[in-house]
Amino acid sequence: FFHLCLIPLFIILVLLSHAAPCVQVFPPVNFTLTVSALAQVLLHWKPNPAQEQNNSTIRYDVRILSPVPEEYDTKRTHSVRTAALHNGFSACVRTLLLQEGLQISSDWVKGELPPLPGAAETSVTNLSCVTHVTIPGNVSLHCTWLPGQGAPEDTKYFLFYRYETHTEECHSYIKDEWNRNIECRFSSTQIKPGEIDKLIVIHINGSSKRAAIKPFQQLFNQNAIEKVNVPRNISISLEQNDLLATWEKPISPFNKECFEYEFYLINLKSGNKQILKISSNSFRLRIDVTSRYSVRMRANHNHICCARGFWSDWSEVISVGQNKLENSITWVFTLLCVFVFCTFLLVAIICKINHLWSRLFPPIPMPSNKFRDLFPVDYERARTCTSSTETEVSSLAEGVPCSILEDSVF
């Protein structure tokens, strides 16, 4: 029994004799952070000279603390990161020693970049940017923003964009009522429309005689801010009881599988509206053939190829079909009006030819004056008897001289 108890102790002693000696891991040295471009930081360090490898593998664990937390490891002694730097940047690094399947780490070494200088609340706010493929191979850029609440009225803002290694300043601004730049347009840029998830850096600084303007930076995924073009060559037709629609993908370097569509259909007879989501370039839909429809379409990226962008504008309205019942009533009413007009015109012509109007509607005779006017007008009294053949006015005046008639009073 005593010998059996010594066996486990012997095994432990053998394992301890073959165990590797204790290895000490030292942190990197000369850790520095350097701004190498707009919103770009170069992290650089050197291996600790006291570190012994002893057939071990050395890697470095990097941790970004701000502005956006991130952690990764690398074999190199440098790393480049893109980040908005207006509020500063901080990171730390440590040594990782891999030996015989074991990983041993050192203490962290930390580095910081201070925030960009400037007065509080003078940076721009509500920055928004949109890209658009104007022609194959060319991308435009349009950005808008609001002045900071603490920015003086004489503040002048200036926008720069960086894409990969290219940096460019805006030269086409739109101003507000205080003559401050609040909008920028690039009709042509170095942005490559076929890239996936590349970053566009926007940097806006400013100047003022009354305050130090704090710069502002923001990163945009180029696919996420792209406004997609309208689908092309849209064709709508009817086949028996079905509506058939076909179209081509928008102007874009991406394949047709990278797009999705919204189909806006309005029944003009009933007023019903519906939006259909389509992932292909054609579809068939059963409709009411007695109704007329208006159709519009728009496009966007799908999640298969890249980040979704902004929906395109709606296409022009396309009308298809006809309201058969309404059209029948219209035709009947039109034919009835034509028939009535033609009938009336024919009757009028017949009556004119046969002089029926004078028979049907004889003229009304004027009544004769059988009573003497008791109050003759002046011109009647002034009449002279210059002719013996003058017509007698009445039987009562027979044989009476003109002078007597003129002087008579009734």
Whole-number pLDDT of residue 401? 43
Model pLDDT, residue 388: 42
Cis preceding linkage at 365, omega within 30: no
Contacts of 155 (CB under 8 A, 6+ apart): 122, 147, 148, 180, 206, 207, 208, 211, 213
The whole-angstrom separation of Cα 141 and Cα 189 is 7
| pLDDT value at residue 18 | 44
Q: Report d(CA 183, CA 170) in Å as an integer.
A: 10
Dist CA 135 CA 28 (whole Å) = 50
Report, in this order, helix, strand and coil percent for the chain, each rounded to 5.
15, 40, 45
CATH architecture of 232-324: Sandwich (2.60)
SS3 assignment for 142-188: EEEEECCCCCCCCCEEEEEEEECCEEEECCCEEECCCCCEEEEEECC
State the Cα–Cα distance between residues 105 and 27, nearest whole angstrom: 8
**Residue 378 CB: number of other CB atoms within 10 A?**
6
Sheet containing strand 216-221, edge to edge, reads 166-169, 156-163, 199-207, 216-221
Strands 89-99 and 57-66, how do they pair?
antiparallel
Q: How would you class 355 by CB atoms within 10 Å of its CB: exposed for 0-12, middle for 13-18, buried for 19 or more?
A: exposed
List the pLDDT tens digit at each of the 410 positions of the chain. Answer: 444 444 554 454 444 444 445 678 999 999 999 999 999 999 999 999 988 877 788 999 999 999 999 999 999 999 999 999 999 999 999 999 988 778 899 999 999 999 999 999 999 999 999 999 998 889 999 999 999 999 999 999 999 999 999 999 999 999 998 899 999 999 999 999 989 999 999 999 999 999 999 999 999 999 999 999 999 999 999 888 889 999 999 999 999 999 999 999 999 888 899 999 999 999 899 888 888 999 999 999 998 889 999 999 999 999 987 754 444 556 566 777 777 777 777 777 766 666 555 555 566 665 555 545 444 544 444 444 444 444 443 443 344 443 333 443 33
Identify the pLDDT of residue 100. Answer: 77
Q: How far is CA 195 from the centre of its chain?
A: 22
Q: Phi and psi of 363, rounded to 5°?
A: -70, 150
Q: Please tell me the distance from the alpha carbon of residue 233 to that of residue 387, in angstroms, as a whole number.
A: 100
Q: CB atoms < 10 A from the CB of 42, how many?
A: 14
Cβ count near 173 (within 10 Å): 15
pLDDT of residue 155: 94
**Domain boundaries defined on the chain:** 24-113, 125-221, 232-324
> In angstroms, rounded to a whole number, what is the distance separating the alpha carbons of residues 227 and 132?
5
Query: Which superfamily does 24-113 belong to?
Result: Immunoglobulins (2.60.40.10)
CATH 2.60.40.10 describes domain 125-221? yes
3 state SS of 58: strand
